Chains A and B, each alone.
Chain A
Amino acid sequence: TQLLEQSPQFLSIQEGENLTVYCNSSSVFSSLQWYRQEPGEGPVLLVTVVTGGEVKKLKRLTFQFGDARKDSSLHITAAQPGDTGLYLCAVAGGTSYGKLTFGQGTILTVHP
């Protein structure tokens, strides 16, 4: 059983379209992070959400943390080819202090 269920796994859209990526769990988290990774590079932190119901915006990206702190979503408005990449949600926890557990990831391809 995955701690984090991320969906969809693949997303292929045209430039200008909107999209939403979901990250769900049955567990409650104190915080959740979203990362973006480009091919051949390490993941880059986009945002950390900590408060239930919190909404954070980063230009065309909107991140929301569920009221119960069990789920999160990433919404991209008017997607651009530069948004193409692997999007990952992650939470802290596990046997090692500070250990991150990642969702399965969403591969987003935005076609011009």
Chain B
Amino acid sequence: GAVVSQHPSRVICKSGTSVKIECRSLDFQATTMFWYRQFPKQSLMLMATSNEGSKATYEQGVEKDKFLINHASLTLSTLTVTSAHPEDSSFYICSASDGPSYEQYFGPGTRLTVT
């Protein structure tokens, strides 16, 4: 149980375009989903926290107009990188929590490359 999927697993896009990444909880209802960014050989950096049906809470320094997060249902959250630039190239990981506990179940990540 507690499986989280991400789609796509890899995406290459041109500079200036927008990319949408999906995060799904497959066998549980995720009241809260988290989005992380990870650079090579570094730890995970939390970008934002999203609760179903409400606006996401962004961490300091994360541009909410650039990284649009939507958590429209209890099983799906999306992260849209708008007007992507090469510096947005990174590994994006989502996690989902099924209740008021801290346990998070992580997705397999999405490798974004902006050319």
Q: Please, how many residues of chain A have a CB less than 8 angstroms from a CB on the other chain? A: 23
Contact A104 B109 (CB under 8 A): no
Which one, A54-62, A74-82, A88-96, is touching chain B? A88-96
Contacts A40-B109, A40-B111, A42-B106: A98 and B46 contacting too (C-beta < 8 A)? no
Measured CA separation A95–B102 after assembly (Å): 13
Contacts A100-B34, A102-B44, A105-B42: A41 and B102 contacting too (C-beta < 8 A)? no
Contact B41 A107 (CB under 8 A): yes
B75 at the interface (CB under 8 A from A): no
Measured CA separation A31–B102 after assembly (Å): 10
Measured CA separation A101–B103 after assembly (Å): 12
Interface of B is mostly: strand
Contact A97 B106 (CB under 8 A): no
Measured CA separation A95–B107 after assembly (Å): 23
Considering only residues 31-80 of chain B, those with a C-beta below 8 Å from chain A are 32, 34, 41-44, 46, 49, 57
CB distance from A110 to the nearest CB of B (A): 16
Contact A92 B109 (CB under 8 A): no
Q: Please, how many residues of chain B have a CB less than 8 angstroms from a CB on the other chain? A: 25
CB distance from A4 to the nearest CB of B (A): 9
A43 at the interface (CB under 8 A from B): yes
Measured CA separation A40–B111 after assembly (Å): 8
B15 at the interface (CB under 8 A from A): no
Contact B43 A98 (CB under 8 A): no
Measured CA separation A48–B44 after assembly (Å): 18
A111 at the interface (CB under 8 A from B): no
Contacts A96-B57, A98-B100: A44 and B43 contacting too (C-beta < 8 A)? no
Measured CA separation A99–B103 after assembly (Å): 9
Kindly list chain A residues whose C-beta atoms are within 8 Å of the C-beta of B91.
40
Contact A102 B34 (CB under 8 A): no
Contacts A40-B109, A40-B111: A99 and B34 contacting too (C-beta < 8 A)? yes
- A residues with a Cβ closer than 8 A to B are 31, 40-45, 48, 86, 88, 92, 95-105, 107
Q: 5 additional contacts, CB 8 Å, given A98-B104, A102-B43? A: A31-B102, A41-B108, A42-B93, A104-B43, A107-B41
